[in-house]
């Protein structure tokens, strides 16, 4: 199925159905040989299945599609270099699972691991913990155990990174960056473990969206760590450790998806979306935040503090306002940034959760910078603005990197804030303008400008009602709007461009024949991008999509899809013939609307800035 890596849409139609769902556990059919564990007075009911070890190894080899590719390079670099996989195949990690006396735990472990890419590694990890006295009190304890294994492995990765020595400054920078990213990964695994505490099996579906988001981010952090090293001895040493933790993370994501799918009722996507044609707001947006998003006069929001370059506010710089923000603040903290160009590097760190920045307009309130890879700064660190704190929201703001096409990778904003929202914002740059790095992100009525890979990263991001303008780059340079970086098939990440306008910027229009432009190219093996119900002007090459580094890399494992696009650039007759590219149906497209794709529960609310379903309904 085209959407086998997505969680089924879960909707409780009414309160009665909710109560019924909480009281039952759906037992999988014997024909599918799926064991579903249920808590009944502390006991388990399950359907067992038997599989030979040799067949498991055979299946692993057959189904392996986990290799990762090299760091994203500038287009000039990518045209002359080829890829080298960085993650070993499953058979490289196959070893005989420890023999224990067969019992209920073993059967449940085998079944849960059957959905993973690395079955034997999964079984070995869980059975070893069982053999060491691990108490199987509930099926959810198996997931706790799996994530604990990830966390323990990350400790070993961190230990390895801290032990590395080099006199080369680039290596030192890579080590420092990797250390921070592994620490980020550990934070998210701990958050995932804490999410399980006190969670009943009947409430498992409620925590799945967070688990999917956080563990997908753990995969991304580890991949970015590897990307920071040049090919050589240091990278090889780190790679050995990171590969193991990535495999364990992949297994955890696969197990959660499989278990949740069997516990949850299967909803009819088409009928559900057709009933909810009003604009809606995600459930993780509070009532106060809803009012903020709908507000027209930003001055009526009663901000906590005001930034103004002319001295008419509480602070003259955004960074000063952030430093003054209380470490622990109940509710949403609002910073109003008055009109002006703020030339400063801004980081909204993880401690600053539920922060809103509101400007006077995306071309009036602008945060600007000019850091670039051409100036020997790592792409990850070139961002003018970084949003990390959970629940970050920005309205009527501009984010800019002025390094120009000569700067190559030069990021205007890096977003790794979970449940982040950008409304009426503007993102200006050339290569790598918007780094939609990790977690769940929503962009509404924004303007995005760039040349090469100017929307890139591994977030679950929806761009709705946005204007995407392709700019003129270096002589002979081709343009690609997206470079999505999903590294594992069980990650719930990808880019959705919905009801947007894609066009040439004014500087490109006279010379667009000299600069071929494409909707995207696959940065990583499971790159996923969907463009639907958008107007694509005569700027996109008829092929639509571009190969990565002129190779066949990822063309059979990526997921690129289009649905009901309009305009001369939306014609699909001459699109690439890759196995991974699809012109999808309405039923398939519904899976990529805001609700199911961002994996959130949604409520009815009129007049909101988010469209729940498709526009052609």
pLDDT score recorded for residue 139? 63
CATH code, 104-265: 1.20.140.40
Measured CA to CA, the distance from residue 414 to residue 88 in angstroms comes to: 29
Out of 86-95, 318-327, 383-392, 485-494, pick the least confident. Answer: 86-95
Q: How many CB atoms lie within 10 A of CB 582?
A: 17
CA atoms within 13 A on the CB side of 27: 9
> Which has more confidence, 444 or 264?
444
The pLDDT tens digits for 454-473 are: 999 999 999 999 999 999 99
Q: At what angle do helices 233-263 and 104-113 cross, to 10 degrees?
A: 110
Q: Which residues does residue 343 pair with via DSSP β-bridges, in sequence order?
A: 368
Measured CA to CA, the distance from residue 354 to residue 288 in angstroms comes to: 12
CB 126 within 8 A of CB 145: yes
Instruction: Give the mean model confidence (pLDDT) for residues 338-367.
Output: 96
Measure the CA angle with vertex 149, ends 60 and 135; round to 5°. Answer: 105
The pLDDT tens digits for 370-381 are: 999 999 999 999
Nearest by Cα to 175 from 113, 225, 123, 100: 225
Measured CA to CA, the distance from residue 547 to residue 302 in angstroms comes to: 49
> Which has more confidence, 277 or 305?
305
The pLDDT tens digits for 410-441 are: 999 999 999 999 999 999 999 999 999 999 99
Q: Two tokens at 474?
A: 């270096």
Q: Which residues does residue 421 pair with via DSSP β-bridges, in sequence order?
A: 393, 442
- Per 3-state DSSP, the chain is made up of helix, strand and coil in percentages (nearest 5) of 35, 20, 45
Length of the chain as a residue count: 617
Measure the CA angle with vertex 464, ends 458 and 468; round to 5°. Answer: 80
Measured CA to CA, the distance from residue 282 to residue 442 in angstroms comes to: 10
pLDDT score recorded for residue 287? 63
Measured CA to CA, the distance from residue 261 to residue 39 in angstroms comes to: 17
Measured CA to CA, the distance from residue 535 to residue 59 in angstroms comes to: 43
Out of 50-64, 399-413, 445-459, 475-489, pick the least confident. Answer: 50-64
Nearest by Cα to 567 from 527, 519, 610, 612: 519
Instruction: Give the mean model confidence (pLDDT) for residues 470-477.
Output: 95
Instruction: Give the mean model confidence (pLDDT) for residues 489-509.
Output: 97
The pLDDT tens digits for 535-577 are: 999 999 999 999 999 899 999 999 999 999 999 999 999 999 9
**42 has pLDDT over 70:** no
Backbone angles phi, psi at 284, to 5 degrees: -80, 5
Nearest by Cα to 462 from 427, 436, 501, 432: 436
pLDDT score recorded for residue 294? 60
The yes/no answer on whether domain 292-606 falls in CATH 1.10.760.10 is: no
Measured CA to CA, the distance from residue 574 to residue 572 in angstroms comes to: 6
Three-state DSSP at 365 gives strand
pLDDT score recorded for residue 32? 31
What average pLDDT is seen over the chain? 80
Please give the helix or strand (H or E) that residue 595 lies within, else none: helix 594-597
Question: Which residue carries 């409620």 as its tokens?
Answer: 206
The pLDDT tens digits for 165-194 are: 999 999 999 999 999 999 999 999 999 988
Measured CA to CA, the distance from residue 613 to residue 617 in angstroms comes to: 8
Instruction: Give the mean model confidence (pLDDT) for residues 291-316.
Output: 81
Question: Which residue carries 């909710």 as its tokens?
Answer: 18
- pLDDT band of residue 200 (cuts 50, 70, 90) is confident
pLDDT score recorded for residue 245? 92
Measured CA to CA, the distance from residue 93 to residue 419 in angstroms comes to: 35
> Which has more confidence, 380 or 602?
380
The active-site residue, picked from 173, 212, 453, 488, is 453
Instruction: Look at phi and psi of residue 94 and say left if phi exceeds 0, alpha if psi is from -120 to 50, else beta.
Output: beta
* Helix segments in 295-451, DSSP class H: 318-323
Buried b (16+ CB within 10 A) or exposed e, 335-373: bbbbebebeebbebeeebbbbbbbbbebebbbbbbebbb
**288 has pLDDT over 90:** no
> Which has more confidence, 118 or 88?
118
pLDDT score recorded for residue 207? 87
pLDDT score recorded for residue 141? 76
Q: Please give the torsion angle defined by the CA atoms of residues 592, 595, 596 and 602, in that order, rounded to the nearest 10 degrees.
A: -170
Positive or negative, the Cα torsion across 349, 351, 356, 357? negative
Measured CA to CA, the distance from residue 614 to residue 154 in angstroms comes to: 41
Measured CA to CA, the distance from residue 101 to residue 224 in angstroms comes to: 41
Buried b (16+ CB within 10 A) or exposed e, 167-200: eeeebebbbebbbebbebbbbbbebbeebbeeee
Instruction: Give the mean model confidence (pLDDT) for residues 328-348.
Output: 95
Measured CA to CA, the distance from residue 130 to residue 577 in angstroms comes to: 48
- Is 453 one of the annotated active-site residues of the chain? yes
> Which has more confidence, 129 or 217?
217
Q: Where are the domains of the chain?
A: 104-265, 292-606
- pLDDT band of residue 584 (cuts 50, 70, 90) is very high
Close Cβ partners of 189 (under 8 Å, ≥ 6 residues apart): 147, 150, 151, 154, 214, 215, 218
pLDDT score recorded for residue 411? 98
Backbone angles phi, psi at 258, to 5 degrees: -65, -45
């Amino acid at each position: 199925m085209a959407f086998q890596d997505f969680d089924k849409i879960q909707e409780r139609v009414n309160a009665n159905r909710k109560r019924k769902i909480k009281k039952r556990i759906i037992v999988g059919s014997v024909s599918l040989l799926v064991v579903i564990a249920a808590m009944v007075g502390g006991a388990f009911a399950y359907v067992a299945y038997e599989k030979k070890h040799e067949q498991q190894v055979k299946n692993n080899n057959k189904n392996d599609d986990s290799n990762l590719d090299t760091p994203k390079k500038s287009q000039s670099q990518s045209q002359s270099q080829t890829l080298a996989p960085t993650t070993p195949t499953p058979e490289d990690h196959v070893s005989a699972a420890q023999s224990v006396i067969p019992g209920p735990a073993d059967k449940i472990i085998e079944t849960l691991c059957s959905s993973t890419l690395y079955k034997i590694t999964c079984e070995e990890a869980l059975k070893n913990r069982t053999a060491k006295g691990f108490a199987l009190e509930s099926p959810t304890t198996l997931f706790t155990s799996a994530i604990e294994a990830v966390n323990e492995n990350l400790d070993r990765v961190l230990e390895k990174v801290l032990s590395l020595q080099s006199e080369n400054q680039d290596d030192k920078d890579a080590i420092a960056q990797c250390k921070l990213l592994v620490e980020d990964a550990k934070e998210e695994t701990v958050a995932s473990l804490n999410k399980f505490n006190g969670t009943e099996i009947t409430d498992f579906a409620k925590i799945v969206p967070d688990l999917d988001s956080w563990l997908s981010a753990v995969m991304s952090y580890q991949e970015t760590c590897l990307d920071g090293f040049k090919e050589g001895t240091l990278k090889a040493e780190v790679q050995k450790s990171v590969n193991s933790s990535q495999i364990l993370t992949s297994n955890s994501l696969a197990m959660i998806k499989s278990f949740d799918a069997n516990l949850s009722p299967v909803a009819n996507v088409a009928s559900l979306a057709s009933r909810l044609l009003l604009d809606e707001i995600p459930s993780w947006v509070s009532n106060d935040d809803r009012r903020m998003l709908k507000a027209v006069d930003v001055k009526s929001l009663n901000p906590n503090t005001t930034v103004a370059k002319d001295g008419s506010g509480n602070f003259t710089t955004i960074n000063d306002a952030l430093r003054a923000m209380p470490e622990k603040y109940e509710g949403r903290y609002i910073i109003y940034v008055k009109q002006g160009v703020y030339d400063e590097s801004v980081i909204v760190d993880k401690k600053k959760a539920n922060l809103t920045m509101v400007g006077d307009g995306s071309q009036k309130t602008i945060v600007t910078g000019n850091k670039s890879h051409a100036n020997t700064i790592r792409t990850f660190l070139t961002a003018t603005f970084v949003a990390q704190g959970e629940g970050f929201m920005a309205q009527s703001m501009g984010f800019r990197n002025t390094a120009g096409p000569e700067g190559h990778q030069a990021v205007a904003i890096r977003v790794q804030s979970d449940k982040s929202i950008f409304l009426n914002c503007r993102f200006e740059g050339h290569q790598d303008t918007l780094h939609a790095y990790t977690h769940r992100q929503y962009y509404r009525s924004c303007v995005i400008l760039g040349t090469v890979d100017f929307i890139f990263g591994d977030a679950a991001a929806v761009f709705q009602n946005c204007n995407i303008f392709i700019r003129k780059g270096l002589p002979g340079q081709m343009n690609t709007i997206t470079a999505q970086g999903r590294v594992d098939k069980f990650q719930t990440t990808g880019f959705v461009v919905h009801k947007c306008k894609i066009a040439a910027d004014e500087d490109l229009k006279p010379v667009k024949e000299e600069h071929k432009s494409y909707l995207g190219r696959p940065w990583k093996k499971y790159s996923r991008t969907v463009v639907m119900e958008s107007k694509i002007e005569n700027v996109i090459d008829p092929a639509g999509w571009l190969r990565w580094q002129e190779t066949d890399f990822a063309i059979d494992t990526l997921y690129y899809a289009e649905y009901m696009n309009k305009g001369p650039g939306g014609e699909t007759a001459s699109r690439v013939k890759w196995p991974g590219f699809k012109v999808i149906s309405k039923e398939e497209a519904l899976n990529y609307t805001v609700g199911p794709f961002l994996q959130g529960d949604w409520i009815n609310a009129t007049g909101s800035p988010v469209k729940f379903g498709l526009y052609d309904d």
